[in-house]
Amino acid sequence: LFGEGKMFLPQVVKSARVMKQAVAYLEPFIEASKEQGKTNGKMVIATVKGDVHDIGKNIVGVVLQCNNYEIVDLGVMVPAEKILRTAKEVNADLIGLSGLITPSLDEMVNVAKEMERQGFTIPLLIGGATTSKAHTAVKIEQNYSGPTVYVQNASRTVGVVAALLSDTQRDDFVARTRKEYETVRIQHGRKKPRTPPVTLEAARDNDFAFDWQAYTPPVAHRLGVQEVEASIETLRNYIDWTPFFMTWSLAGKYPRILEDEVVGVEAQRLFKDANDMLDKLSAEKTLNPRGVVGLFPANRVGDDIEIYRDETRTHV
């Protein structure tokens, strides 16, 4: 439903919370059933280093557990060495990586390289909002000789895992996936950049032109590093709510989004939840916003910017 635009991210999060509570109730029964018989396989899952998002990962874990797979969930911000060490310790059948932000993509490549270096052969599953079949095929799969599979959403995980662990389906599934990814790489290689790159010399010839002699820059009242404090009530007046709604996958500009025909109702609920949280934090003083700002003299030197300790500009 989320992929089809019929459900919004705040609803997904609330649903995940409810599901987590329901699964917590069912866990004793799931564990009891495991003791009575053999599981279908064991999988280590983790949100990679640098990323704290785990909604999708948690859903995948629950879905697989309900299908009699043993899940070792390492949580979020997990470095490659911990993922691989755990996989060895528990004798995992598969490893699943999740990530929501763009830097996660590079970390997934790093994990794949480490798996290859350490001689792993078990399947590697890739999932998360920023991941894609193209990135998996072009950037990740080529760094690991074992099966590497992009899983588009949680609903497809069980089928993929079952195929990878099946004695009769595995070879055919892996071969078809590799052939598909090879096609993706060929198509990607044929793409031409929309704008040809500019040479360094051309960029320097087209540098910023400005009459600095006719310009007097403003002088800061105080230079150097300063600590600042501000109340939540002060800061909330400067919140840009449009990116906030975008983060929750609700498209539209504030305040018009609150009256939007498609997402307006959910935007109003989310806006109320956010302000209720700010009210609570302010009233209970459980959060004391603080920051550090540094203002320094600076000057361009060729392609570089030099930052000085003070206005004497003698110490860079």
Q: Omega into 197 within 30° of 0, i.e. cis?
A: no
135 is catalytic: no
104 is catalytic: yes
Token digits of residue 212 = 């600095």
Residue 284 and residue 218: Cα distance in Å, rounded? 40
Largest alpha-carbon pair distance within the chain? 83
Q: Contact 184/138 with Cβ under 8 angstroms? A: yes
| CA nearest neighbour of 9 among 242, 239, 251 | 251
Q: Which of 15, 53, 132, 166 is catalytic?
A: 53
Residue 73 and residue 20: Cα distance in Å, rounded? 14
Q: Contact 127/150 with Cβ under 8 angstroms? A: yes
Q: Which of 51, 54, 73, 93 is catalytic?
A: 51
| CA nearest neighbour of 97 among 116, 81, 78 | 78
Q: Contact 245/252 with Cβ under 8 angstroms? A: yes
Q: Which of 73, 93, 98, 104 is catalytic?
A: 104
| CA nearest neighbour of 140 among 182, 98, 110 | 110
221 is catalytic: no
Q: Contact 84/118 with Cβ under 8 angstroms? A: yes
Q: Contact 50/104 with Cβ under 8 angstroms? A: yes
| CA nearest neighbour of 150 among 165, 137, 166 | 137
- The catalytic site residues sit at 51, 53, 104
